[in-house]
Amino acid sequence: MKKLLFVLFLTFPAFSQLAYLTGGADFRFSSSTGLDKFAERYNQTRSSIITKKMESPGTFSGWFVNFGGGFAGITFDLGYSRQTASMKAETDPLRTSGGGTGRDIDLILGNFMFGVGFAIATSRDMALIFPNFEANLLDLSYETRTNTTSKSGDVSTIANAGIGMKLMFSLGGTFAVTIHPSYNFTLLEPNFSSLYDGTSTSYDVMSDETKGSFNGFHIRLGLSFLITD
């Protein structure tokens, strides 16, 4: 194999290609009206016993892996990530049946991603890919526990789109550090009713109160293994 140079796409001849495999840490700073409304309703229906209110999670964290490549200045990515977050409420055991002290909810988010971008600046040491467009198919599930019960289920499948950028910095040879920030937004509002049902939280079945967005900033920090022809 030829010596690998981090010149990437625009400084390679048009027929040259590059592929990379990236893995690392994945963080999503969520802004979800769906989870906000659930937390608010959960607290309202338990206002007489609750001592610490349920709050929507601000951050999902986990890992990602994706395969990508480039040709003549156009890049693509295909990847998967898994992130988790938690929600918690506390109650007065003297006011609950069975002496319950609260509820814990673990949220698990699986994310299949496809992205396309444009390498607008490259050198031997770095590459800037902007804009980078992505389509995401999210699978949100939950596990909930109290003192006496536990339950798990699927919340919703969520279709998201995003726009961002990607920076790649050469470490020399075959590796590079990759920073990939983006903003993701909901295409169709998902229904969070399964989360209400799983936590015995009442709602109006004739309304859309259990629907809401799942937006937020997303950043992937990883190490890329580079392969060129």
The CATH number covering residue 132 comes to 2.40.160.20
Task: Establish if 157 belongs to a structural domain.
Answer: yes
CA–CA dist 201, 223 (Å, integer): 43
CA–CA dist 46, 93 (Å, integer): 13
Residue 28 has pLDDT above 80, yes or no: yes
Token representation of residue 195 = 């989360």
User: How confident is the model at residue 25, as a pLDDT?
Assistant: 99
Token representation of residue 137 = 């198919």
Residue 16 has pLDDT above 50, yes or no: no
Token representation of residue 23 = 């893995």
In this prediction, what percent of the chain has a pLDDT beyond 90?
A: 77
8 A C-beta contact, residue 28 and residue 44: no
Instruction: Tell me the residue range of the domain where 35 lies.
Output: 17-136+143-228
Residue 14 has pLDDT above 60, yes or no: no
Banded model confidence at residue 22, pLDDT cuts 50, 70, 90: very high
Query: Average pLDDT, whole number, for the chain?
Result: 90
* Letter string b/e over residues 124-161, b meaning 16 or more CB atoms within 10 A of that residue's CB: eeebbbeebebebebebbbbbebeeeeeeeebbebebe
Task: Establish if 3 belongs to a structural domain.
Answer: no
> How many domains, in total, are found in the chain?
1
159 vs 226, more confident = 159
Task: Establish if 1 belongs to a structural domain.
Answer: no
User: How confident is the model at residue 7, as a pLDDT?
Assistant: 38
Task: Establish if 58 belongs to a structural domain.
Answer: yes
The predicted model gives 59-88 an average pLDDT of 95
User: How confident is the model at residue 8, as a pLDDT?
Assistant: 39
Token representation of residue 55 = 């709050």
